[in-house]
Amino acid sequence: MKKYIVMECHLSYAVVLDEDGRFLKVANRHYEVGQTVTDVIEMQIPQSIPKKKKTKRWAYSLAAVAATLVMMITIVFQLGQMTYASIYMSINPAVRIDVNRNDVVVGLNGVNSDGNDLIEGYNYKKKDLELVVDELLDMAIEKGYLYEGCKITLVLDAENNEWIVTRSDALSKQLDDYLSEKITVIIEITDKKSNDQIIIPINPNDSDYDDSDYGDSDYGDSDYDDSDYGDSDYQSSDYDDSDYQSSDYDDSDYQSSDYDDSDYQPSDYDDSDYASDSGITDYGF
């Protein structure tokens, strides 16, 4: 056990010397100078609160504000750069013009090789849609893509239908005004969605017709053509042969009681679920 010599006594503490030559302030448990003691309670001065903490907390909030700012700026910038709508312009060279919410061009791509050739070296950054279209037409004329009697097709693609409506009017008018001074061309403006909708009924041979529109209902090809159950079949072959015919049908009751109360109920027959299981089983009876 460590030994300490009491060197000095005070009201609240005593100074002791340990065997390693350390002077310590310890609790004065009624010590006397010169006394040798063994079990001491050393004084521990509480650590001062580091002031760094305060600045740190400050820095945290600053960092949070900075991060938020960066995020906000990024979002705003992203929104500005985000493609809101696209315009496909095809003369022969086809190009796609992407615009943002404010009709400022944010992207310009050639759709075919002529399109790439047309826009080569052209700087669209921060230009309005109308200006870009005008300049592209000028360039097309210069490069010989656009000449008298040419057809320009503009396809508008956007989520917002209102935008399409207003832009198609404005663009056609603007192109008219702009080109009428130079050459005469045919301008056709459509939008992607209405194209889809319009084309389907006009071209009945389109695969879409058979696949989806018709096949959806239970009147699908196979069911419809099913020999066992078809309208026509009922009246001709099936009706006459098969089990059904056996007893009840040949009877005179056919038109009255038996026909109705047998499983071959009229309701089932008229039902759109004609081809369903129940009908077939019923028939089997």
Partner 1 sequence: MQKEHKIIMSVYEAKDDLQKADELIRDYIPFIRSEASKCISRFCTEQDDEFSIAMIAFHEAILGYEHNRGAFLPYAAMLIRNRIIDFQRKEVRHQSNISLNEEIGDSDQTLMDKIADERDYIQESANLEATKQEIEELSAVMAEFGVSFSDVADNSPKQQRTIEACTSAIRYAIENKHLLNKMLKTKKLPLAKLVAGSKVERKTLERHRKYILVMLLIHSNGYEIIRGHLRHALNTKGGMSV
Judged by the rule CB under 8 A, the positions of this chain that interact with partner 1 are 3, 5, 7-8, 10-13, 15, 17, 19-30, 32-36, 41, 43-49
Nearer to partner 1 by C-beta: 35 or 83?
35
Alpha helices per DSSP H over 95-191: 113-119, 129-142, 161-180
Spatial separation of the C-alpha atoms in residues 94 and 89, rounded to whole Å:
6
Distances (CA, A) of 165 to 157, 160, 161: 11, 9, 6
- In the complex, the smallest distance separating the C-beta of residue 41 from partner 1, rounded to whole angstroms, is 6
Nearer to partner 1 by C-beta: 11 or 202?
11
Tell me the three state secondary structure of residue 106.
strand
- In the complex, the smallest distance separating the C-beta of residue 39 from partner 1, rounded to whole angstroms, is 9
- In the complex, the smallest distance separating the C-beta of residue 53 from partner 1, rounded to whole angstroms, is 10
Strand duo 151-158 + 186-191: pairing: parallel
Percentages of the chain per state (helix, strand, coil), in multiples of 5 = 50, 20, 35
Residue 184 CA, distance from chain mean position: 41
- Shortest CA distance to 88 belongs to which of 80, 97, 76? 97
Nearer to partner 1 by C-beta: 10 or 125?
10
Nearer to partner 1 by C-beta: 26 or 146?
26
Which three-class secondary structure string do you get for 66-90? HHHHHHHHHHHHHHHHCCCEEEEEE
- In the complex, the smallest distance separating the C-beta of residue 11 from partner 1, rounded to whole angstroms, is 5
**What residue ranges in the chain does DSSP mark as E strands?**
4-9, 13-18, 23-27, 36-37, 85-90, 94-99, 105-110, 151-158, 186-191
Nearer to partner 1 by C-beta: 19 or 148?
19
Nearer to partner 1 by C-beta: 41 or 73?
41
Spatial separation of the C-alpha atoms in residues 283 and 94, rounded to whole Å:
61
- In the complex, the smallest distance separating the C-beta of residue 8 from partner 1, rounded to whole angstroms, is 4
Residue 29 φ then ψ, to 5°: -95, 65
- In the complex, the smallest distance separating the C-beta of residue 159 from partner 1, rounded to whole angstroms, is 58
- In the complex, the smallest distance separating the C-beta of residue 56 from partner 1, rounded to whole angstroms, is 15
Nearer to partner 1 by C-beta: 24 or 111?
24
